[in-house]
């Protein structure tokens, strides 16, 4: 209920902005960690759109999520420059270390693992991001250190 | 006396610990009672040396790198505040060969200035182009952009001046400038560096574009993967507004221009200009059929200039120094410079701005120093995920739009991704199809279905199920995608796929090279 109130007020604040739907969805995801499916009708109402249209937008973009992520969102770059420096092996290591597959969340709700297609760190590959903090030249050992440190901070 | 120390705030420096280095320098200086001022500059683009710390000395700026937090105490012990000798001392920054051999026009300020300081920007030729533009008639500005030979740096290389001219001539109550800062291509980071390291150059370029075409509003569409770029742009825009370079009455000229930053949401195809406009309008980023051209009916149905970050960022210098100055760099119809981006398996990865016409081999070895792994370089993908894999036999071609097009390759945005001899080209071809399937907007069949079929066919080839027929099928499929797709997503995915099978047939288990296509 509290979440719905937040979603409604963010949607209302953006409804008159030209092309305001994406900024509204960003605002909601930034505030709540995801775009709750039951917020879709209230967003649709504010923007005078059908629910299907809003759902269509939320599901089209990789960035928006319908369920909360784990406390640490770990993104591993899978694009070419990172592949050239061992990103595939790094991803396999990440799955093992975090205890979840790509697009998954670990059973304890601590980690979510997502692929990302380029972080713009291609000259320092392979690269990852943990809750939006970027890290480059990642080895499996460094990966473990970064995740451990982020876990303690969070 | 206060010593100025520069520690980059570019993402690639932050990603290897630049913030920690800055904090450690601060702590160490306090403990030693040293009087220092830390400036968070952009990156020089010599990424293997990040964190590259610079110290101002009477001789000039002296570089140390790569510095980690653990090195800081030792640097103070070695007297680095006065440029003292140390294993990490690289000498005067400007004399580092990788930097010295470049022709930095657009990137001249990169790493030199404080990215969000208007005063610093102006002290380094900033806003000279905008001031000149304000003294010209709109058509004269457009003519200068035309005469400079500047072509779009976002991939398709369309002459910027022609777009601007169309928008200038259009009659409408509102016109827009849209900056394409989606930079989704692997191996490219020059847009990111610009937004993080010299954002006022983009602000200035967009303001000039507005004055030249009669657009009073601009949108910068930045990918969500770049939170630092978004924050830095916001800061720079605020400072530019305060200083009167943006707003309703730019420098008292009576002309206005407003800038808005919009965050994208992780769809590669939204880098395509019409999909980007759809996204800015708040919809799913699905490609529009052209015509109408965005120049006539673009954002919110109004005439719109849509250009890449580097295209817009190149304009201030053209106005400030004149069209001939810019034109005199480059070759053929590729004028000026391109910030080439060396990435992947390369020893000295980073940004190299040079005039068009140098060769890939020069970039790979003279600048890049060969592969990072020390193994032979096997394949180089130029121009992003939709670009061809370029084999060694073509490494001496000049980097020029037409010369590359002639061999079925593209220069694109100037991204260069290096793979060593452990790369399996059939798997990279498969990845190209998989990426297309994942990122396709779904509007047309060749791209939407073809890419999924492409993955299956490549799997059959590599597992030797009816290999000869499947190879024919793959070529056929590529042909359909090339000619039947609405945009370059489906239309260019065959480039990496065909170049892989044509130049590296052995990786597909195909013996006789069959050079039927691209
Ligand atoms: C699938 C696809 C992705 C693209 N991604 C980008 C991009 O990330 N950045 C960009 O500037 N242009 C991108 N483009 C090219 C744009 O459609 C367009 O040509 C460009 O923004 C025009 O600006 P310019 O003339 O200054 O290059 C992409 C094109 C396609 C087909
Ligand atoms: S080629 Fe692909 S991305 Fe482009 S319009 Fe067709 S389906 Fe959409
Ligand atoms: S390819 Fe991984 S950061 Fe660009």
Closest CA to B313 of B224, B188, B163, B207: B207
State residue A70's pLDDT score. Answer: 95
Residue to probe by mutation, ligand 2, list B273, B278, B441, most atoms within 8 Å of CB: B441
State residue B283's pLDDT score. Answer: 98
Which 8-state DSSP code applies to residue B420? E
What distance in angstroms lies between residue B185's CA and the mean position of ligand 3's atoms? 8
Do B433 and B398 reside in the same domain of the chain?
A: no
- Per-residue pLDDT tens over the stretch B133-155: 999 999 999 999 999 999 999 99
State residue B320's pLDDT score. Answer: 98
Rounded CA-CA distance B232/B194 in Å is 10
Given a contact cutoff of 8 angstroms between Cβ atoms, the answer to whether B62 and B91 are in contact is yes
In a domain, B70, yes or no: yes
CATH of the domain at B282: 3.40.50.11540
Q: Which residue has the tokens 């007020």?
A: A9
pLDDT at B114 over 50: yes
Given a contact cutoff of 8 angstroms between Cβ atoms, the answer to whether B119 and B106 are in contact is no
- Per-residue pLDDT tens over the stretch B303-358: 999 999 999 999 999 999 999 999 999 999 999 999 999 999 999 999 999 999 99
Q: What is the mean pLDDT of residues A62-79?
A: 96
Count CB-CB contacts under 10 A for residue B262. Answer: 21
State residue B265's pLDDT score. Answer: 98
Quick one: which H or E segment has residue B56?
strand B53-57
Share of chain B above pLDDT 70, in %: 99
Do B275 and B171 reside in the same domain of the chain?
A: yes
Closest CA to B162 of B306, B370, B287: B306
Do B394 and B442 reside in the same domain of the chain?
A: no
Mean pLDDT of chain B: 97
Strand residue runs (E) in B122-184: 176-181
Given a contact cutoff of 8 angstroms between Cβ atoms, the answer to whether B126 and B200 are in contact is yes
pLDDT category, B207, cuts 50, 70, 90? very high
Q: What is the mean pLDDT of residues B191-216?
A: 98
Q: What is the mean pLDDT of residues A37-49?
A: 97
DSSP β-ladder status, B350-355 and B389-390: unpaired
Q: What is the mean pLDDT of residues B50-68?
A: 98
In a domain, B384, yes or no: yes
Residues ≥6 apart with Cβ < 8 Å to A56? B284
Given a contact cutoff of 8 angstroms between Cβ atoms, the answer to whether B496 and B432 are in contact is yes
Closest CA to B275 of B178, B187, B209, B203: B178
**Domains, chain A, ordered by start:** 2-60 (no CATH), 72-153 (3.40.30.10)
Q: What is the mean pLDDT of residues A104-124?
A: 97
State residue B516's pLDDT score. Answer: 47
Q: Which of B181, B224, B376, B421 to mutate to test the interface with A (most CBs of A within 10 A)?
A: B224
pLDDT category, B1, cuts 50, 70, 90? confident
Angle ∠(B447,B448,B454) on CA atoms, nearest 5: 70
Do B385 and B298 reside in the same domain of the chain?
A: no
State residue A1's pLDDT score. Answer: 65
In a domain, B494, yes or no: yes
Q: Which of A58, A118, A149 to mutate to test the interface with B (most CBs of B within 10 A)?
A: A118
What distance in angstroms lies between residue B364's CA and the mean position of ligand 3's atoms? 18
pLDDT category, A2, cuts 50, 70, 90? confident
Q: Cβ contact (<8 Å) for A57 and B284? A: yes
Range of the domain at B44: 3-101
Do B15 and B55 reside in the same domain of the chain?
A: yes
Using CB distances shorter than 6 Å, the residues near ligand 2 are: B 269, 287, 440-444, 447-448, 485-487, 489-490
Last residue of one domain, picked from the residues B387, B414, B441 = B414
Q: What is the mean pLDDT of residues B40-55?
A: 98
CATH of the domain at B363: 3.10.20.600
Residue B460 CA, chain-centre distance (Å), reads 36
Residue B331 CA, chain-centre distance (Å), reads 20
**How is residue B76 written in tokens?**
């103070």
Residues ≥6 apart with Cβ < 8 Å to B235? B116, B199
Q: What is the mean pLDDT of residues B239-248?
A: 98
Closest CA to B62 of B146, B116, B4: B4
Beta bridge partners of A115: A76
Q: Cβ contact (<8 Å) for A136 and B15? A: yes
pTM over 0.95: yes
pLDDT at B190 over 60: yes
Do B196 and B312 reside in the same domain of the chain?
A: yes
Interior/surface letters B448-473, b for 16+ CB within 10 angstroms, e for the rest: bbbbbbbbebbebbbeeeeeeebbeb
Residues ≥6 apart with Cβ < 8 Å to A26? B224, B263, B265
Rounded CA-CA distance A124/B74 in Å is 25
Q: What is the mean pLDDT of residues A47-53?
A: 97
CATH of the domain at B495: 1.20.1440.230
- Per-residue pLDDT tens over the stretch B274-301: 999 999 999 999 999 999 999 999 999 9
CATH of the domain at B93: 3.40.30.10
Do B504 and B382 reside in the same domain of the chain?
A: no
- Per-residue pLDDT tens over the stretch B498-515: 999 999 999 999 975 545
Do B228 and B364 reside in the same domain of the chain?
A: no
Rounded CA-CA distance A11/B346 in Å is 46
Give chain B's domain count: 4
Do B175 and B248 reside in the same domain of the chain?
A: yes
Q: What is the mean pLDDT of residues A49-74?
A: 97
Q: What is the mean pLDDT of residues B371-377?
A: 98
């Amino acid at each position: 209920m509290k979440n719905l109130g937040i979603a409604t007020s963010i949607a209302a604040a953006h409804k008159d902005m030209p092309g305001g739907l994406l900024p509204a969805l960003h605002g909601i995801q930034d505030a709540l960690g995801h775009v709750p499916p039951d917020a879709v009708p209230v967003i649709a109402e504010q923007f005078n759109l059908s629910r299907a249209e809003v759902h269509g937008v939320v599901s089209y973009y990789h960035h928006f999520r319908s369920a909360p992520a784990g406390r640490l969102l770990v993104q591993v770059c899978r694009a070419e420059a990172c592949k050239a420096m061992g990103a595939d092996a790094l991803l396999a290591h990440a799955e093992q270390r975090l205890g979840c597959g790509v697009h998954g969340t670990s059973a304890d709700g601590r980690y979510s693992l997502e692929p990302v297609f380029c972080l713009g760190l291609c000259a320092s590959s392979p690269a990852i991001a943990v809750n939006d903090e970027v890290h480059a030249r990642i080895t499996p050992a460094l990966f473990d250190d970064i995740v451990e440190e982020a876990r303690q901070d969070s | 006396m206060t010593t100025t120390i520069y520690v980059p705030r570019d993402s690639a420096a932050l990603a290897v610990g630049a913030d920690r280095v800055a904090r450690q320098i601060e702590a160490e200086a306090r403990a030693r009672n040293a009087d220092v001022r830390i400036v968070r500059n952009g990156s020089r683009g010599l990424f293997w040396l990040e964190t590259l710390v610079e110290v101002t000395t009477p001789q000039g700026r002296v570089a140390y790198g790569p510095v980690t937090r653990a090195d800081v105490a030792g640097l103070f012990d070695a007297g680095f505040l006065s440029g003292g000798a140390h294993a990490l001392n690289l000498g005067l920054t400007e004399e580092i060969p990788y930097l010295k051999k470049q022709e930095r026009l657009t990137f001249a300020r990169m790493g030199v200035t404080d990215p969000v300081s208007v005063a610093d920007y102006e002290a380094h030729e900033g806003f000279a182009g905008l001031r000149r533009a304000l003294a010209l008639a709109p058509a004269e500005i457009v003519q200068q952009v035309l005469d400079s030979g500047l072509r779009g740096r976002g991939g398709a290389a369309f002459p910027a001046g022609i777009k601007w001219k169309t928008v200038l001539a259009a009659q409408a109550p509102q016109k827009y400038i849209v900056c394409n800062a989606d930079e989704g291509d692997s191996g490219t980071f020059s847009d990111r560096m610009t937004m993080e390291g010299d954002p006022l150059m983009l602000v200035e370029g967009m303001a000039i574009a507005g004055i030249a075409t009669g657009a009073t509003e601009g949108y910068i569409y930045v990918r969500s993967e770049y939170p630092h770029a978004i924050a830095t742009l916001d800061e720079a825009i605020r400072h530019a507004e305060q200083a009167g370079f943006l707003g309703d009455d730019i420098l008292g000229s009576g002309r206005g221009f407003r800038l808005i930053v919009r965050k994208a949401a992780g769809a590669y195809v939204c880098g395509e200009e019409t999909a980007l406009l759809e996204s800015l309008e708040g919809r799913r980023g699905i490609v529009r059929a052209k015509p109408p051209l965005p120049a006539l009916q673009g954002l919110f149905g109004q005439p719109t200039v849509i250009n890449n970050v580097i295209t817009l960022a190149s304009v201030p210098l053209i106005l400030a120094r004149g069209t001939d100055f810019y034109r005199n760099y480059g070759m053929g119809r590729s004028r000026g410079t391109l910030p080439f981006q060396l990435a992947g398996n390369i020893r000295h990865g980073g940004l190299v701005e040079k005039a068009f016409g140098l060769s890939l081999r020069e970039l790979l070895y003279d600048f890049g120093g060969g592969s990072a792994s020390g193994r032979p370089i096997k394949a180089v993908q130029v121009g992003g995920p939709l670009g061809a894999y370029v084999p060694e036999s073509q490494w001496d071609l000049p980097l020029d739009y037409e010369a590359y097009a002639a061999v079925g390759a593209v220069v694109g945005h100037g991204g260069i991704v290096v793979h060593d001899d452990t790369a399996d080209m059939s798997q990279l071809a498969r990845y190209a199809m998989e990426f297309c399937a994942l990122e396709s907007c779904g509007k047309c069949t060749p791209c939407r279905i073809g890419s999924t079929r492409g993955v299956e066919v490549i799997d059959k080839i590599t597992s030797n199920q009816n290999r000869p027929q499947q190879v024919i099928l793959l070529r056929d499929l590529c042909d359909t995608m090339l000619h039947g797709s609405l945009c370059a997503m489906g239309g260019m995915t065959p480039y990496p796929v065909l170049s892989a099978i044509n130049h590296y047939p052995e990786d597909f288990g195909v013996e006789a090279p069959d050079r039927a296509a691209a």
